[in-house]
Amino acid sequence: MTTVTNPTTPEITTVTNATTSEITVTNVTPDITTLTNATTPEITTVTNATAPEITVTNATTPKITTVTNLTTPEITMTNATTPEITTVTNATAPEITVTNATTPKITTVTNVITPEISMTNATTPEITTVTNATAPEITVTNATTPKITTVTNVITPEITMTNATTPEITKVTNATSEITTMTNATTPEITVTNATTPEIATVTNATPEITTVTNTTTEITVTNATTPEITVAKATTPEITVTNATPPPKITTVTDATLTNITMIFATTPEMTTVTNTTSKMTTVTTKIIPTNLLESAGILTSDAAKGSWDELNNNNKSESSENKNASSSFLSAFEGIAAHVVNEPLSINTQYILFTKVNFTNNFKDDFNSSVEINIPEAEGSRQSIAVMLFASMDNVLPARESVNTSSSVINGRVVLIHPESDINNISIAFDVLNETLGKPKCVFWDFDLFDSLGGWSDEGCAFVLNENGTVRCNCNHTTSFSILMSPDSPQDIVLDFITYIGLGISMGSLIVCLIIEGIAWRKIRRHSTSYLRHVSIVNIAVSLLIADIWFIIGAAVSNTKSAPACTYIRENVVCWLNWNQSKALLAFVVPALMIVVINLIILVVVLYKILSRRGGANASQAEGKNVLYVIARSLAVLTPLFGLTWGLGVGVMLSPKNRGMQITFALFNSVQGCFIWVFGTLLDKKVCMSLVKSNLVCLRD
């Protein structure tokens, strides 16, 4: 008996215990349900089965290879031990089951659209693929075969792979479903790529070669990353990389940042309040990937877009309650920690904002970094040395330009360079290309973390300025740390202002000397009347004080150090709390009372003069003389007060608008000839003084 073909009877249900080598069952009608205990080697195919209950059970024949195009709802293959069953294909039934397959040749379950595909306890070495599964409950359980490699293009919402111990399960690709769990994977080559499912929650106990989770758009969380919802737990692989993670719009803490696309952390939020330095936990940076990612991320924090946030943090350093007083100092300290822990092997990393180089040298070292900083170490202790160098393109956006006096009269006008040698170096030469050649007065400085109660600032201790030529400033230092140069706007000599000042002071000093001589000549005459006496005593005191001041101005100008900023540079700095204007308006506490005193004194003076000058009748000669003296006083005040008031009003204008050349010239002119005003209106226009001069045969301005 070789063939049972196209049976039409509705009642043939079983072909049992067939031992012939040639039995083939083809195109079976609806009620053939069971092929049981087939031991023949030649039963190969059950094809186009339309029956609702096809069952192949305990097949031991080596040649049953295919169950194809099944439309029945309950296809079952159980305990198949034949080595040649290879494929279950195009199954449309709702309950395809392959259970306890021990045959070495079952390789594929393909294009299944049934809702309940199950592969359980597969021990065959050749089951390799579950492909294009559209069912909602694809399950691959306890697969011990070494060749199960792929679950591909699954769109079912509940794909589960559990306890996979095979060494070659490699891919779950283009999964669009709710893939929820991949647990206890011990295979060395599990790769998960392009996962777009919204609920991939956990990758647990991953062994050394889980390499990549790429282009994640879901709620994936990686611990110690900057985004709050990506988690990789207990990852033991040294090379896990997570890329293209989009951070939230407001990040308040930056801890262990290693992602490559942390963009706009400072630029997108002024509320960034903490930069946490965790590099002290690092023992040795052994790979290039981690420093590269870290430097790219940290470099973005120094960009121009982050400058406003850093300025806000640095401005808060004046508040004793601020928790971020030394944020910029801590940020720089983190880089010094990285440089100190890099392995002693050559390394070169060049990012957009940071250049990091680790080099070995013998005896001496010289290199030009990015054509902006040149480092020269003429002699180093020991025959072989190692040095780490970080060159920052925009660290001036982070570090304030405060110096040892805690002022900001200068600006950082060169690249900031961090130098960390393997052992101490006490002689190093650094050449900086200046960023703005219009600035002058260069100062070689390093960042001192201990200044201002650990607030940090620039110090020139141990560094010396050598030369400034052709846009390059050269410095020598006896230690290594983070260096740069500070420069301030030059105050070029203004010949016109100098001419006005010196000539005016000369005229003023000459006038005051003549005034004192005249007062001495007329002293006997003017001291007879008490009011006149007091007036001239005041004039003498004013003349002496102003003469001494003018003399000191001349001496100071003659011996001044032209390399230092003028004293007025430090007037009303923000750090002087009682003169602060920009923040607390504390300057008003000084200005308002002073103006009130001046106004009250002027009012009292006007009232007293009015009462004295308005007295009538009964005036004797003495009273008439006193009235004349008061008239002279009133006239002098009427002239000198506007002149002096205008002078100091111009001084306020110069302070508020220091670049207004016209105001500077006017102020210098009025200020330098005050002595001449006092001589003319205080002495020469006094009638009694003129009478004394006439009697002494001296010239007077009065008739």
Burial category of 573 from C-beta neighbours within 10 Å (exposed 0-12, middle 13-18, buried 19 and up)? middle
Residue 346: other Cβ atoms inside 10 A: 10
What are the residue ranges of CATH 1.20.1070.10 in the chain? 496-695
What are the residue ranges of CATH 2.60.220.50 in the chain? 345-489
Burial category of 231 from C-beta neighbours within 10 Å (exposed 0-12, middle 13-18, buried 19 and up)? middle
- The answer to whether residues 151 and 161 touch, using CB atoms and an 8 Å cutoff, is yes
The list of the chain residues with pLDDT below 70 reads 1-291, 316-325, 343-344, 380-383, 404-408, 489-494, 528-531, 560-583, 609, 612-640, 642-643, 658-659, 696-703
Q: Which CATH architecture has domain 496-695?
A: Up-down Bundle (1.20)
Residues with Cβ within 8 Å of 245's Cβ and at least 6 positions away in sequence, in order, are: 216, 222, 225, 226, 227, 230, 259, 261
- The answer to whether residues 191 and 182 touch, using CB atoms and an 8 Å cutoff, is no
Residue pLDDT, tens place only, 103-117: 555 566 565 555 555
Residues with Cβ within 8 Å of 431's Cβ and at least 6 positions away in sequence, in order, are: 373, 374, 376, 472, 473, 474, 475
Longest dimension (CA), the chain: 167
CA distance 357 to 375: 12
Q: Which CATH architecture has domain 345-489?
A: Sandwich (2.60)
pLDDT of residue 416: 93
- The answer to whether residues 438 and 487 touch, using CB atoms and an 8 Å cutoff, is no
Taking CA 19 as the corner, what is the angle to CA 14 and CA 23, rounded to the nearest 5 degrees? 65
Give me the sign of the Cα torsion angle 452, 458, 459, 462: positive
- The answer to whether residues 463 and 415 touch, using CB atoms and an 8 Å cutoff, is no
CA distance 474 to 380: 19
What's the token pair of residue 361?
A: 């040298």
Give me the sign of the Cα torsion angle 113, 118, 124, 129: positive
Q: Which of 96, 87, 43, 51 is nearest to 72 (CA)?
A: 51
pLDDT of residue 692: 75
Pairing relationship of beta strands 181-183 and 160-162 according to DSSP bridges: parallel
pTM of the model: 0.39
- Give CA separation, 620 vs 359, 416, 627, in Å: 101, 83, 10
pLDDT of residue 185: 40
- Give CA separation, 687 vs 666, 684, 692, in Å: 32, 8, 9
With tokens 């597969």, the residue in question is 122
pLDDT of residue 112: 53
User: Is residue 31 helix, strand or coil?
Assistant: coil
pLDDT of residue 477: 93
